[in-house]
Amino acid sequence: MEWSDQDDRGRPDGRRSGTGRRARSARRCAAAELTAEEVGALVDEYHRSGDRRLRNQVVEAHLWVAEHQVRAVRHAAGASVEDLRQTALLAMIRAVDRFDPSRGVTFRTFAARTIEGELKRFLRDRSWAVRPPRRAQELNLIVRRRTDELAQSSGRSPTVGEVSASLDVPVDDVLAALEAGRARSAVGLSAPARDAVDRRPILERIGAPDPALASVDDRCLVQSAVEGLDLRERQVLQLRFVDDLSQPEIAEVVGVSQSYVSRLLRSGLDRMREQLVS
């Protein structure tokens, strides 16, 4: 069983190639060769005998149905066309397994609905880089489809209010659905940033952890203890432990003896220790 993607390759001018049209026509003709009664008979015989050749015959005659459903959603962001095709084919096979000719529904209709449901579930569950709530995912698909319909009928992009009124859904819910649609794809940290000036990878633009963050609490405690000292003690401690001056240098700056500087340092540190341990 092969899937032809000839009709996915357009001409340079954007028009479908004659080969693609002929391929689609050939597939429809192949399906037309099997009447609804013949399809029903093949399915009944397959269910009875389990002969997969019978199932494959039905699937191959209706490949165009799967192709049509894939074409309708193939431009969904974050979805691989090949994944969509595989999902559609598996759904077609399941449709044959579940089809009951006695219900009066044609296999083509049953298969189309089965494939459509499987594709919607695939897009909802597997094609999101970041998965938003299911309600937002489902509404995103509805909003996108209605937006396309309104744009086609009016010849312009509809406003959020127009989409909201058309669906009878609150504007906030429409906005949330549109925002959820952005979660379908993600940009890698190694990708260049979307900046006209700075094109460095995003990873290189992210700030590193601040090594001083772990000492914030200790710094706050020390600052509180320092505020309990008098002006001369704070000055001496600043010169010694921040400016890294020696005691003789501090004595020269402050204009006192070195021994007095030593006493100020000792008394200041003792008072801070008392405040910190209390």
Whether residue 30 contacts residue 58, with contact meaning beta carbons closer than 8 Å, is answered with no
pLDDT score recorded for residue 48:
92
Percent of the chain with pLDDT over 70: 76
Mean pLDDT across 14-36: 54
Instruction: Find the range with the poorest average confidence among 95-99, 191-195, 235-239.
Output: 191-195
Q: What is the pLDDT of residue 6?
A: 43
- Residue 29: the pLDDT is 47
Instruction: Give yes or no for residue 16 having a pLDDT over 60.
Output: no
pTM of the predicted model, to two decimals?
0.44
* pLDDT over 50 (residue 75): yes
Rounded alpha-carbon distances, angstroms, from residue 95 to 117, 155, 205, 275: 11, 38, 50, 79
Q: Identify which of 116-125, 192-201, 232-241 has the greatest average pLDDT.
A: 232-241
Residues 118-158 pLDDT 10s:
988 887 666 665 667 778 778 888 898 899 899 988 889 89
pLDDT band of residue 189 (cuts 50, 70, 90) is low
CB within 8 Å of 208: residues ≥ 6 apart: none
DSSP secondary structure string for all residues of 86-113? HHHHHHHHHHHHH--GGGS--HHHHHHH
Asked if residue 89 has pLDDT above 90, the reply is yes
Q: What is the DSSP letter of 241?
A: I
What's the token pair of residue 81?
């066309």
pLDDT confidence band for 197 (50 / 70 / 90): low
Residue 110, C-beta contacts closer than 8 angstroms, at least 6 positions apart: 95, 98, 99
**Is the pLDDT reported for residue 93 higher than 90?**
yes
Average pLDDT, the chain: 80
- Percentage of residues of the chain with pLDDT beyond 90: 27
pLDDT at residue 44 is higher than 50: yes
Domains of the chain (ranges; CATH) run: 6-125 (1.20.120.1810), 128-207 (1.10.10.10), 222-277 (1.10.10.10)
Using 50, 70 and 90 to split pLDDT, how confident is the model at 33? Answer: low
Do 110 and 95 touch, CB atoms closer than 8 A? yes
